[in-house]
Amino acid sequence: MDHLVESSLMGLDSHGILRLPDYVNLVLSGRVQPGGALRVVRESAVTALVDCGFNFGQVTARRMTDMACDKAALSGLGCVASQNGMHIGRVGAYVQQAALRGFVAIGMVNGPLSSQRVLPFGGRDPRLSTNPIAFGAPTAGDPIMLDMATCAMPEGKVRLAMQQGKTLPDDVLVDADAQPTHDPSLLYAKSPGALLPLGGPLFGYKGYGLSMMVEVLAGLLGGASAPSPQRYHNGFWILALDPDVFCGRERFDEVVNEMVAHLRSSTPLDPTQPVRIAGEPEFRRKREREVTGIPVAAETWRLILEAGARVGVAVAW
């Protein structure tokens, strides 16, 4: 629940409290099985493969991140991969969690056959999920927190554009005949369109290649088969590194803050928009919304109350 609220506070509404009714339905339908313990399938001082047992992804991903950080604290590195994991929400949350504990972290997420809506570069049949990459690092201020889909635009933003009646930019979507389109509703047509990898017609091999990397680390290392129907929702992979075993904590803190200042010192193209560090807009939005509150559409609120009623939870407001 705090994962959803924080996502909404950070302005990442598509991964926020909007999802609450979906999660209630997942529990009622038995797809998510709350409360199960992580089962360790294989473990070493620095690695683990865990079976998430279809528990809430936010719960298991947070525990996996703590496992990776605990290992990194003892041995310099920690790396944990998953099986049978459900939807983990925004992957940036976990690299942020690791960075707040003082670690540098990379997180990646894949999805099963049923969520493969992204075309390989040069292909017309989708073969990959939006396969996001996240990166986190501690600084003297907020952590660096990158969270990006390896397709041009993640599905949630296409859905939002459709709901808001907006058109999409170039190089985001093709229709069922692999023709470029700006109409977001075509992703949800009876013959659905498909998302394009990051990079457009010239550099799309880069988004495609990054997605392949995510598929190997977040999916295959956990033993998931890309072409076979499977019940899991997200394969999650997290790596935590302790700067202390490399240049040392003190030096790292010095150079990371130098780098942040160096990047920010680039004259902005738009004088009202200073150059930002990855995650900075989200942390700023969080501080704003902690004061002003989270704007919630009437329909979203109605669905949340309804979901509460279905499970006998009175929502106070």
**Closest by CA position to 239, among listed 260, 217, 255:** 217
- Per CB under 8 A, which region of 56-64, 159-167, 266-274, 301-309 contacts a second copy? 266-274
Strand bridging mode 47-51 / 77-83: parallel
Complex with a second copy: residue 205 or 283, whichever CB lies closer: 205
* Span between the terminal Cα atoms of the chain, in Å: 16
For position 173 contacting a second copy by CB under 8 A, the verdict is no
Site for a second copy in 298-317 (CB under 8 A): none
Provide the mask over 63-102, with x wherever binding to a second copy is found by CB under 8 A and - wherever it is not: ------------xxx-x-x-x-------------------
Q: SS3 for 224?
A: coil
Residues within window 138-167 making contact with a second copy, judged by CB under 8 A: 144, 146, 148, 152-153
Binding mask 217-256 for a second copy (x = CB under 8 A): x-xxxxxxxxxx----------x-x-x-xxxx--xx-xxx
The neighbour count for residue 119, using CB atoms within 10 Å, is 23
In angstroms, the Cα distances linking 289 to 184, 294, 304 are: 29, 6, 19
Using only the alpha carbons of the chain, give its radius of gyration: 20
Give the one residue of 190, 267, 311, 314 binding a second copy; rule: CB under 8 A.
267
Site string for a second copy, 11-40 (x = CB under 8 A): ------------------------------
C-alpha 238, offset from chain centre = 12
